Amino acid sequence: MTFDPVHPRMPAGFRWSAATSAFQIEGSRQADGGGRSIWDDFLETPDAIVDGSTADPACDSYRHPGVDVALAAGLGLDRYRFSIPWARVQPDGAGRGNVAALDHYSGFVDRLLDAGVTPFPTLFHWEMPSSVEAAGGWLSRDTVHHFADYAEIVADRLGDRVAHWYTLNEPAMMTLQGYAVGALAPGKQLLFDALPTVHHQLLAHARAAEALRDRGAAQVGLVNNHTWVMPLRDTADDHQAAALYDVLHNRLFSEPLLAGRYPDLEALGLPPMPVQDGDLAAIAGSIDFYGINFYNPTTVTAADPVGPIPFDIVPTPGAPVTGFGPEWPIVPSALRDLLIDLHARHPELPPVIIGENGASFPEPERAGRVEDTARIDYLTGHIAAVAEAIEAGVPVEEYTVWSLLDNWEWADGYTQRFGLVHVDFETGERTPKASYDWYREHIASSRATAAGSEQGR
């Protein structure tokens, strides 16, 4: 059978999803008694957000949830990934939970179920209550227990209808960008002293997973940002630099979950993790699926040996780029290679979910119809890469587009647009782009092809 990169055949039962996160779309940040999060603090830092925006009203989704549910249902999604902000549910990071906020997300879950879309919430999409960060945040082991308490509160309210959960979103970015270099909230610049946040996030995930399963969860996992790391030159120094970056971005997070151990950090000149008895066993047994967010590969070269970081991230030679420029090269085959390599390292790999994949391209603020062919090409290439990985034996079961909507893109404010749906941030008007129609048709065609293959057996 010839492989078709435009219409790759997915196995029967393969799921299609789209995603958003609360702080990026909801607005109404203090509505219903919501508390301050580290992002409320970060966006008030001078020059932290490139356009000076404040995530209000964003897409105004908190006040208009039904519009987003209709768009998700209109795509024919199997599941919709959204997040529940910790600071709305526990404004001070403690206590029994904010009833008004829990009512809101309970109603949102009901709307999705009524529309035939399975809810797939994320408990932590970078939105830690400011009070928890003030007490140490992910640098403190106490945060593990606070997060598990929060998971219990949400599951007590939603667990009768929600069976599938992400605990954490992209712990790698929280460590590397939030605590190591300060590009994202909470804006710490600790470099390698940020490494304890890796262990505390993974342990918090494990404890939260226990709480969710105790309350009826069928599937629990986390989703991490992964990248395919490539040396700029075929030299020993560049290969060593690439290997170190691969450890920091990828293997620090995958190996405890998939192999029950951390890479040998001390051999790399790094401090060991703050592991206590029983931690690694809890982490290793904590996932029913492994979530991967993928956007681009990373090209690495050896840095000046006298600097604090022994590698530099550089443009990928010859690769086209997204609206972010050279830091976001477009190389769909890198996703295939990443998935195949992960499976080779971990032959007993659990089911894999692509929890985010998408791209931002320059688009107008006001729009009727956006013909975003560059996005369609990006998604087509990456879906084909997933199909090739499946053919090679990688157990990928779901693909998720980031994002359903244009949104507030963290430190980049409103300057980047990832959505299948254009949002006018002045009026709130939503206009499906060409990619929305393409994805809807792709989902329908994929299901029809898979069903035909099953009937033909």
What is the CA 24 to chain-centroid distance, rounded?
13
Instruction: Extract the tokens encoding 237.
Output: 């120094």
Most distant pair of Cα atoms in the chain: their distance: 64
Provide the residue ranges of all domains of the chain, joining segments of one domain with +. Answer: 15-227+287-298+323-455
> How would you classify the pairing of strands 352-356 and 396-402?
parallel
Kindly list the catalytic residues: 170, 356
Cα angle 415, 399, 407 (rounded to 5 degrees) comes to 20
The whole-number pLDDT of residue 3 equals 44
> DSSP letters of 291-347?
EEE----EEEEEPPTTSSSSEEEEPPTT--EETTEEEEE--HHHHHHHHHHHHHH-T
The whole-number pLDDT of residue 7 equals 64
Could you list the pLDDT tens digit for every one of the 457 residues in the chain? 344 555 678 999 999 999 999 999 999 999 999 999 999 999 999 999 999 999 999 999 999 999 999 999 999 999 999 999 999 999 999 999 999 999 999 999 999 999 999 999 999 999 999 999 999 999 999 999 999 999 999 999 999 999 999 999 999 999 999 999 999 999 999 999 999 999 999 999 999 999 999 999 999 999 999 999 999 999 999 999 999 999 999 999 999 999 999 999 999 999 999 999 999 999 999 999 999 999 999 999 999 887 889 999 999 999 999 999 999 999 999 999 999 999 999 999 999 999 999 999 999 998 788 999 999 999 999 999 999 999 999 999 999 999 999 999 999 999 999 999 999 999 999 999 999 999 999 999 999 988 766 665 5
In CATH terms, the fold of domain 15-227+287-298+323-455 is TIM Barrel (3.20.20)
**Placement of tokens 């990832």 in the chain:** 418
Sequence-separated contacts (24+) of 442-451 with Cβ below 8 Å: 442/16, 442/383, 443/16, 443/75, 443/76, 443/77, 444/76, 445/7, 446/9, 446/10, 446/14, 446/16, 447/76, 449/7, 449/9, 449/10, 450/9, 450/10, 450/11, 450/12, 450/13, 450/14, 451/12
* CA distances (Å), origin 142, targets 7, 72, 132, 200, 204: 48, 37, 9, 9, 9
Predicted structure pTM score: 0.96
- Do 204 and 257 contact (CB within 8 A), yes or no? no
The candidate with the shortest Cα–Cα distance to 369, out of 442, 435, 417, is: 435
d(CA 151, CA 442): 35
The candidate with the shortest Cα–Cα distance to 72, out of 12, 115, 114, is: 115
